[in-house]
Amino acid sequence: DAGVTQSPTHLIKTRGQQVTLRCSPKSGHDTVSWYQQALGQGPQFIFQYYEEEERQRGNFPDRFSGHQFPNYSSELNVNALLLGDSALYLCASSFGQGRSYEQYFGPGTRLTVT
């Protein structure tokens, strides 16, 4: 049973560029969340997708956008990259709703903005 997969593993971009990160959820999961983890910090929630719609969004600017496809996979797009966007981007998948459902994380994409 494949877990959550993310691509690419590492990415180096220049300020002002745009980037797309990809995530495939764990088999049987229908919900995808994205988190940003800065060095030495806990993950911060960016947004969550369910049924191809953004269901909840954290405190991130509109430069951060996403998409969920009919097969439940998801993309995170970041426009006009800033140095401060350098971080580990984590995708998490889950099934169902409610406060007790478990989120399973992928290995992350390490984004470096120079």
Partner 1 sequence: GDSVTQMEGPVTLSEEAFLTINCTYTATGYPSLFWYVQYPGEGLQLLLKATKADDKGSNKGFEATYRKETTSFHLEKGSVQVSDSAVYFCALNSGGSNYKLTFGKGTLLTVNP
Q: Where on the chain is the footprint of partner 1 (CB under 8 A)? A: 4, 31, 33, 35, 40-45, 48, 50, 55-56, 58, 90, 92, 97-100, 102-108
Residues 6+ apart with CB under 8 A from 2: 24, 26, 27
> Cβ of residue 4: shortest distance to partner 1, in angstroms?
8
Q: How far apart are CA 106 and CA 5, in angstroms?
A: 5
> Cβ of residue 48: shortest distance to partner 1, in angstroms?
5
Cβ neighbourhood burial of 110 (10 Å; 0-12, 13-18, 19+): middle
> Cβ of residue 106: shortest distance to partner 1, in angstroms?
5
Which one, 14 or 53, has the nearer CB to partner 1? 53
